[in-house]
Amino acid sequence: MNSKAVVFFGRSGCGKGTQAKLLVDFLKSKDREVLYTETGSLFREFIKTDNYSSALAGNILRAGALIPVFLPIWLWTKALVENFSGKEDLVFDGVCRRREESVALDSAFDFYKIEDLNIILMNVSEDWSYTRMMERKRADDTAQKIQNRLDWYKQDVVPSFEYFRGKKGYNFIEINGEQSVENVHKDIIKALGL
């Protein structure tokens, strides 16, 4: 069985994490092995370690600033190198916040000879995203930090997914994220041909 790779993109608050987990559960229900990589949780674990790099990264995250691009690449690359056996489907959430990451991920797929490549862009408006983030009441969801994330999305994340749009070998899927969780999931499963 050939490995399938699915990379989720979308504004903060669009439900990427929820949909990625639903997809993982769905794939597992079809007796497929899955390696799920979520950069946010990798960072949370990393900053708990006691070293100079994790301390610096923790300070940047607490300030609500952008992490240097080499760190997320190192985190998800390390997860792939240590855990991917060539048999699992790969589901990524929160990777490729900048174009350099997309180039690196593309090279990883090439290295592992993964040919079933899927990019899912969950489309939601900026207003919709802002409202959802305010509603979830996370400690780091202040009005200013939310606006920073929305600005970074336009500046950094859009060029990241645009790197994959029209790129040979990639199935670029756009999903309306402004609908029920169930309907978004159905649309994703259908678009992936599962």
**What whole-number distance in Å separates Cα of residue 43 and Cα of residue 71?**
9
**What whole-number distance in Å separates Cα of residue 88 and Cα of residue 115?**
13
Report the SS3 class of residue 116: strand
pLDDT tens, residue order, the chain (194 aa): 689 999 999 998 899 999 999 999 999 999 999 999 999 899 989 999 999 999 999 999 888 788 899 999 999 999 999 999 999 999 999 899 999 999 999 999 999 999 999 999 999 999 999 999 889 888 778 888 888 889 999 999 999 999 999 899 999 999 999 999 999 999 999 999 99
4-191 — its CATH code? 3.40.50.300
**What whole-number distance in Å separates Cα of residue 98 and Cα of residue 172?**
17
Reported residue count of the chain is: 194
Q: Domains of the chain: which residue ranges?
A: 4-191
Tell me the whole-structure pTM to 2 decimals: 0.93
Place of tokens 């939310």: 146
Please give the structure tokens belonging to residue 116: 């079933």
